[in-house]
Amino acid sequence: MGACSLKIIYYYYYYLLLVTGDLNIDVLKPNAPLTKQYTDFLNMFNLTQHVQKPTRVTPHSETLIDHITSNDSKLVTHVDVLPCSNVSDHDAPYACLNISAERFVRNA
């Protein structure tokens, strides 16, 4: 795949793999060669890209280049994009996950 200027966060919780970041691959253009490569890569590893709304909007274009990808779509219960125009030229995608975590117990 081409060069991607991004920060990727890998979160591993039991068997959940969650990859997020600014991939600079516009999945709103499914026929673009890089998007096809990316989609093939996701399919090869049974991964799902969950964000469906544009994450960078200008007066002249809308792109979906900030992704949330997982290996278990059943654990991703909600995905949306928060407008962040006062902070960045990208909006912020977020996901709600159906996972449970043990509470921290302080040792006496």
Domains in the chain, start-ordered, CATH in brackets? 9-97 (3.60.10.10)
**pLDDT tens-digit readout, 95-108:** 999 887 666 677 76
Measured in whole angstroms, the distance separating CA 72 from the mean position of its chain's CA atoms is: 13
The Cα 1–Cα 34 span in angstroms is 7
**pLDDT tens-digit readout, 4-52:** 544 444 555 567 888 999 999 999 999 999 999 999 999 999 999 999 9
How distant, in Å, are the alpha carbons of 24, 47, 56, 69, 108 from that of 72?
23, 7, 26, 9, 38
Q: Is 19 left (phi over 0), alpha (psi -120 to 50) or beta?
A: beta
Q: What is the pTM of this model?
A: 0.79
